Amino acid sequence: MGRVAKGAKCTVTGCEKDAVRSLPAGKVTGAGLEVGEVRRAYLCKEHYKEYKRGTKKERMLEKWRHGTR
């Protein structure tokens, strides 16, 4: 049972909602979201959506680079 299942809160500055995903903090800050000095960033549904929008171009380029669909 992970931290998200145990009821971790979103680590984005100013958000107190329940987290639905856990990602490396470096990737999250690279997408433009502000998290504190943590190793793992826990994101609520809305901030996970923002993360996906912020990394869409990078993910597309990575797929092209490796030739997967």
What does the pLDDT look like over 11-67, one tens digit per residue? 999 999 999 999 999 999 999 999 989 999 999 999 999 999 999 999 999 999 998
pLDDT at 16 (0 to 100): 94
Q: How many domains does the chain have?
A: 1
> For the chain, what is the radius of gyration of the CA atoms?
13
For residues 57 and 69, what is the distance between their CA atoms, to the nearest angstrom?
14
**Surface-to-core class of residue 5, CB atoms within 10 Å of its CB (0-12 exposed, 13-18 middle, 19+ buried):** exposed
Owning domain of residue 20: 3-66
Q: What is the pTM of this model?
A: 0.86
For residues 13 and 34, what is the distance between their CA atoms, to the nearest angstrom?
6
